[in-house]
Chains A and B, each alone.
Chain A
Amino acid sequence: MDTYQTILGEEPSEPVENLRLTRAVIEGWLANDVIEKQQRGELLASLYPRRKRDRFLVTCWLSLVAVFFLSGISAMVAANWDHFSGRERMSGVALLYIALIAGTIWKTTDTLTGKLLASCAGFTFGMLLVVVTQQYQLNVDGVWFYATWACGVLPLAFVVKFVPLWVGWSLLLRGVLSSCFFHLDIDWMTRSLAGEYSSWSFAGAALATLCIRHTVLSKSGEKAAWLKPEWPRFFLYLELHAIVVGFIAIYFADFWHGISDGRFTREMYWYRTVLLPGCVALLIGIHVHLRRGGIRQIWYLTLSVLAISVSAIIVVCIMMFQGRMPSEVLVLLAAVFAFTVFIFAVVYVRSMRVSMRASEVTEEVIYE
C-alpha cells in the first residue's frame, strides 16, 4: 500500500484481491516464494507497460532539462541584472510575457502545458509591473499594485479555467483586500481595527467564492467540471472557520471583560455585540449545511466540529481566567473541560460517519 493510503488509514472497503497491484506486493511475493523470478519480470512488465513508462521517462527527462536550464538562465540573468539598462529589463520581461501568451495560444488552453504557460504568464505580468514601477519610480501603494496585477490575471483565469491559477488570483485578491485597510495601521488601536476589517473582507471573499462555486457547479454541470476539485474548497472553509473562531474569541473576550469590569457601556464596540451572535450563527449554519452533504462532506464536518469545539474551549477559558494569571486548579479544570469537549466531538463525528454511511447505502438501494 502506498504512503498516502497508509497515512489516510481508511478502513478497507474492498477485499485485498481487488486492490491495484503494486511493486511492493510483487517484491513481497518474490521474497516469500509465491512467484518465481521470471514471473516477477512478467508482472513488472505489466505493471510498467512500455509505452506508458517511456512516456513518463521522456516527460520527466525533458521537464528536468527545462527546469534546470530555466533556473540556470534566470540565475545568470539575476547575477547580471545591474548591467542591464531599464529599457532592456522591461523589454526582456515583456518579451517573456508575450512568448508565454503565444505559447498558451499555440498549445491551446485545453492542454495542461497551455494552462501552465498561462499561469506563468500571470506571474510574469506581476514581474513586469515590478520592473515598470522600479524603472519609472512610480512609488505606487499596495492597493494599486495588487489590483492592477489581479486585473491583468483575471482575463487569463477566465479563459484558461485552471484551478491553481484561480487559487493564485484569490491570493492576489487577498493582497488587494489587506492593502485596502493598510492606511488604518497607524498605532496599536487602529492596527487591531485594520486586522479586523481585512479579516472580515477575507471571510466575505471566502464565503462569496464558495457561493459562486456552488452556483456555477449546479447551473453549468459538466461544463464546469474543472471546478470540481475539492482541495480549494477545503482551504476556503478552513480560512472561513479560522477567521470566525478568531472573531468569536476576540469579541467574546471584549464582551466578557466589558461585563465583568463594568466598562461595558463605555469601551465596548457596540457593533461587536451584534456580530458576536452573528459569528456563532454562521458557525452553526455552516455546520448544518455541511451535515446535509452526506459522507462525502465528512472532512468538512470534522473541520466544523473542530472549530466549534475550539470556540467552546476558548469561551470557557475566557470566563474562567477573567483576563488574569489563572491558578493551577483553574487551568486543570479547563483541561478537563477541553478533554470532555473533544471526547464528545470524536463520538459525534464517528456517529455522523456511521449514520451517513447507512443513509448512503439506503439511498443506493432506493435508487436501484
Chain B
Amino acid sequence: MNNLHSEQPISIGDALSRYSDKQSETYLKGLEVAERQREYSQFPLYLRILIGIGAVIVGCLLLIALAIADVFEYPGFVLLIGGSILAFAILLYRRSDSFGPESLGYAILQQLSFVGVFMGKCMLVLGAGELVNYGNEAYATFVATLVFTLTTYWVYELYLDRLVSVLATLFSGFGVIVEIIEEALPYAHMEEVMPVLALLGYALVPVGVYVFLNPRIPQKYNPFAVAAILMAGFVSVVALASDGVGTSIWPLIFGSEVFHWQDGLSPTLSLSGNVIVTVTCIAVLIWGSGGRESMSNRKIQFGIRIMILVGLMGIAPCMLGVLVVLVGYLTNDRLILIAGILYIPTTLFFATHTLAIGLMSGGVILVIMACFLFIGYLMSRSWFNGPDLEGTAR
C-alpha cells in the first residue's frame, strides 16, 4: 500500500494490475472501458484545421456564387437546397469510411463533406430567417440551428464541430427567449430582461457539470457539457457587465447611492445565480471528495461553509471560475483547469469595470471575499500539515 501514496503518476495498466491479473477478464474489461474513453480522429488537428479552413473558403465562394445567381431571393428554395446539401454531405461522410484514410478518395470525400456541411448549415439558417415573417427570425434561426445540430451531432465525430453547433443552438435559443420576453413585456427595459436570461444561463451550469462528470454518460456528450458551461460563462459575464446581475445582495443595505440596480432589477433573480453556482460548487466538492460519506469529514464540512459564505456574499461569475478550476482539477483536465484560471481574471475585469455596480462597491465586495477566504485559510492552515481526519473517503 505504500506505493499508493507516491507522487509519481501511475498508468492505467499499473492501476488495473493492483486488483487483477493481466490475463483476467476484469483486467481486459478495465482496458476496454479505458479505451472507450480515448476518442481520436483519423486526422490530427493540424490536418483538420487545414481541411476546415479550406471548407470555409470554398463554401464562402460557392455561397457568393449562389448569391450572384439570385438564389437567395427564394428562401424556400434556399432551405430546400441547404437541407439537400446537408443530407448529401452526411452521406459522403459515411461513404468516406469505405476508403482507406491514406487514400486520395478519402481526402476528397472528407473535404467535399465539410464544404457541404458548412454550406448546408449557413443556407438553413439564412433560408429559415428569410422564410418567416418579420419578427419571427429568432424562432426560425433557432429551429434551423437545432435541426442541423441534431442532424450532425452523432454523425461527425469532431469535438469542435459538436461544440460550435451546440453553442450556436444555445445562442439562438437565448435569442428566442429574449423574443418571448419582449412579446410578453413589450415595454420592458433590458435590466428587467437580463436577470431572467442570467438565471437561465446559470441553470446551464449544473446541467453541464453533471454531464461532464457523470461516468455513465458517454464522452461524446462532453462537447455539449462544455458548450453549456461556456454559454453560462458568457451570459453571466454579460449580465454582470451590463446590469451587475450575479453580485450578492448585501450592498443593498447601504442604499441606492452605492448600489443602483434595485430600481429595475429583481434582487431575488440576481441572487439566484449565486445560489445555483454555490450549490453546484458544493455538489462538486462532495463528489470530488468521494461521495456523501465524505460529508462527515470536518475538512469537507469546513470547505462547504466557506463556499456558502464566499458564494452567497460574493460575485457569481468569479465563483463560476472557481467551479471550473475545481472541475478541471478533479478530472485531471488541463484545458478545463487553464480555462477556469483564465476565466477568473476576466470576470474580475468586468466586476471592477461595470458601471452597474460601481467601482467602490465592486471593490468592497472583492475585498470582503478575499477576507473570508483568508480567514478560512488561517483557520484551516494546521490541517494541511496534520494527519487526515476521520470520515474521509480516502
Contact = CB atoms under 8 A, between A and B. Distances in A.
Interface stretch (B88-96, B178-186, B325-333): B325-333
A79 B358 contact: yes
A331 B62 CA distance: 7
A328 interface: yes
Contacts of A274: none
Interface in A13-54: 16-32, 34-35, 39, 41-47, 49-52, 54
A2 to B, nearest CB: 4
Given A1-B37, A12-B38, A71 B50 contact: no
B54 interface: yes
Q: How large is the interface on B (under 10, 10 to 19, 20 to 34, 35 or more residues)?
A: 35 or more
Given A1-B39, A6-B159, A69-B367, A75 B29 contact: no
Given A35-B19, A346-B50, A350-B102, A335 B62 contact: yes
Contact of A75 (B65, B333, B360): B360
A12 B377 CA distance: 43
A11 B44 contact: yes
B13 interface: yes
A105 interface: no
Contact of A32 (B9, B33, B329): B33
A1 B218 CA distance: 12
Interface SS majority for chain B? helix
Contacts of B112: 339
B147 interface: no
Interface stretch (A183-191, A262-270, A301-309): A301-309
Interface in A244-302: 298-299, 302
Contacts of B41: 9
A257 B78 CA distance: 36
B62 to A, nearest CB: 5
B352 A28 contact: no
A335 B59 CA distance: 8
Contact of A72 (B6, B53, B364): B364
Interface residues of A, number: 93
A62 interface: yes
B252 interface: no
Contact of A42 (B345, B358, B371, B394): B394
A322 interface: no
A44 B360 contact: no
A28 B34 contact: yes
Find the residue from B108, B215, B329 having the highest chain A CB count within 10 A.
Answer: B215
A75 B366 contact: yes
Nearest to A335: B61
B297 interface: no
A56 B359 CA distance: 31
A240 to B, nearest CB: 18
B48 interface: yes
A3 B16 contact: no
A223 to B, nearest CB: 29
Interface in A196-223: none
Interface string B259-274: 0000000000000000
A306 to B, nearest CB: 6
A342 interface: yes
Contacts of B222: 3, 6
A354 interface: yes
B111 A339 contact: yes
Given A12-B38, A21-B10, A346 B51 contact: yes
Given A67-B344, A331-B64, A339-B111, A72 B44 contact: no
B33 A19 contact: no
A323 interface: no
B362 A298 contact: no
A342 B345 contact: no
Contact of A41 (B5, B215, B360, B393): B393
A90 B64 CA distance: 56
A342 B34 contact: no
Contacts of A3: 159, 222, 226, 333-336
A61 B363 contact: no
A154 interface: no
B391 interface: no
A47 B5 CA distance: 8
B365 interface: yes
Contacts of A23: 330-332
B107 interface: yes
A157 interface: no
Nearest to B66: A328
A73 interface: yes
Contacts of B366: 68-69, 71-72, 75
B115 interface: yes
B155 interface: no
B394 A338 contact: no
A76 B358 CA distance: 10
A92 interface: no
Contacts of B49: 302
A246 B87 CA distance: 37
B35 interface: yes
A8 B7 contact: no
B58 A9 contact: no
B363 A74 contact: yes
B188 interface: no
B11 A19 contact: yes
A106 interface: no
A163 interface: no
A76 B329 contact: no
A78 interface: yes
A46 B68 contact: no
A246 to B, nearest CB: 16
Given A28-B215, A31-B215, A45-B394, A56 B53 contact: no
Interface string A313-346: 1000000000001111101101100110111011
Interface of B: 1, 3-7, 9-16, 18-19, 26, 29-31, 33-51, 53-55, 57-58, 61-62, 64-66, 68-69, 102, 104, 107-108, 111-112, 115, 159-160, 213, 215-216, 219, 222, 226, 290, 318, 322, 325, 329-336, 344-345, 348, 351-352, 358-360, 362-371, 373-374, 376-377, 384, 388, 393-394
Instruction: List the 9 closest pairs (A to B, CB-CB), nearest first.
Output: A342-B54, A17-B13, A72-B366, A75-B363, A27-B215, A79-B359, A69-B370, A72-B367, A76-B363
